[in-house]
Amino acid sequence: MKLTVWTYEGPPHVGAMRVATAMKGLHYVLHAPQGDTYADLLFTMIERRDHRPPVTYTTFQARDLGSDTATLFKDACRDAVERFDPQAIIVGASCTAELIQDDPAGLAETMGLDIPVIPLELPSYQRKENFGADETFYQIVKHLARPQERTARVTCNILGPTALGFRARDDVEEITGLLSEMGIDVNVVAPLNATPADIARLPAAHFNVLLSPETGETAARWLERTYDQPFTKVVPIGVGATRDFIAEVAKITGLAGRPDESRLRLPWWSRSVDSTYLTGKRVFIFGDGTHVAAHARIARDEMGFEVVGLGCYNREMARPIRALAKEYGVEALITDDYLEVEAAIERLSPEMILGTQMERHIGKRLGIPCAVISAPVHVQDYPARYSPQVGFEGANVIFDTLIHPLVMGLEEHLLTMFRDDFEFHDAAGPSHHGGHSPLPAEDASGGSISGKMIEPVPDNVIWLSDAERELKKIPFFVRGKARRNTETFAVERGLHEISLDTLYEAKAHYAR
């Protein structure tokens, strides 16, 4: 098992913990040695939850290995049931405890507890966190769902959102409102905030909305086979995907309700004058498969960016992401090694990264703006404000998410380009106070910049085509300044041709 400073996914028992923490009335008994109890911090510190995960650890130590660790596990199960009074428990082993082969599932089944006991078999050394969440939710649904009469009104279940999910809380609220506008009620949301009793009611719905394929698809497929409940295949992230989702739901239900698009701003904003300078920006996208696929479509079709690379870390999504990359004319990067991702970003030299917390740090090191669009994330991406990703309001939020790093990049660019301007250099006072430094005498003739006399640009200084193309990428309102600075730089060095390298060298010179 590879150890690393950073990891995109934890072991599968962390995925099980995400499901248990999301639910109510469910308890997780985890056979784990001292030291494997770190996962509590993920929820209380990073997600800022106001209660610790509903997990009881056996917490055996090295000296216990010579005795009966199975008895420790049974005692922990009895204590958890007595103390927390759950409606059901799930039992399993951490990756370290798996090595001693105590079989927590078998042990729990022999204890005669009077509540459902759901065993988890999670191969810690072959699979990872998202698989653990998906498999755990599937086992819970399989053990607890019961045949039900369909609800009188058309209803659906929303499947997949878990604790530590990316904007899961707000996505559920947004999609619930979207469905309500179509005349559809939500029967159960699971696992987020669901109880074991709620899981039993899942078959009462007419269909399922699969909000997170990474953590809910296996359960959705089982419900489709067992209870004849179709599930949606489109995740409504972005304008186009939201409209496709609405059409898909209408086809499943026969309902023709049209949600209100009046609050949708992304299409107009992305066509506005203030956004046109973003057209053609080269972006690299990496994260979980679902968010990568959604943001590739948003980047290309709704923002006018150029996707120069994409990939995902969860290998379960490798096939669809490879197919998508082929459609976009790029090579898919399927890896859980952040160093490979960093190398790909360095090689492609994008102007923006859409990624995870890992890519945020990579972008800082490489000087490339990054917008976080996928888990894993840190505390700043669990905002207190309402900030969904799905639906029409989610599209507005995504517009801001993608624009802000680029706007800040533009601000830095402007500061760089105007740093030596007679009106804006560091020694000049605020313009609205009239407190500018006195202009050098040479400026009266227009022949100096920041007090330094420059020669007129000779006719024999020409711009090569590659440099000219790069110059056109600079916003029009500072393009003239960039041209003059570069030509001044070339004249001072006796250059007769301005190449792409000359342009970059001039930019670096004036930045200093």
Residues with catalytic function: 274
Distance (Å, whole) CA 212 – CA 169: 12
Q: How many of the other CB atoms lie within 10 Å of CB of 365?
A: 10
Distance (Å, whole) CA 400 – CA 275: 11
Buried b (16+ CB within 10 A) or exposed e, 393-431: bbbbbbbebbbebbbebbeebeebbeebebeeeeeeeee
Give me the residue label for tokens 């009895």. Answer: 78
Give me the residue label for tokens 């489709």. Answer: 224
Distance (Å, whole) CA 49 – CA 20: 13
Write a three-state SS string for 356-371. Answer: CHHHHHHHHHHCCCEE
Task: Tell me if 399 sits within 8 A of 406, measured CB to CB.
Answer: no
Buried b (16+ CB within 10 A) or exposed e, 298-324: bbeebbebebbbbbbbbbbbbebbbeb
Residue 337 identity = D
C-alpha count within 13 angstroms, C-beta hemisphere, residue 154: 17
Residue 184 identity = I
Check whether the bond before 53 is cis (ω within 30° of 0): no
Give me the residue label for tokens 């605020």. Answer: 430
**For the chain, percent helix, then strand, then coil, each to nearest 5?**
50, 15, 35
Structure tokens at 239: 């304008």
- The beta strand positions in 247-305, using DSSP E, are 282-287
Q: At what angle are helices 239-253 and 168-181 packed, to 10 degrees?
A: 50
β-strand 448-449 against 452-453: which pairing, if any?
antiparallel
Q: How many of the other CB atoms lie within 10 Å of CB of 164?
A: 24
Phi, psi dihedral angles at 163 (to 5 degrees): -65, 150
Distance (Å, whole) CA 137 – CA 131: 10
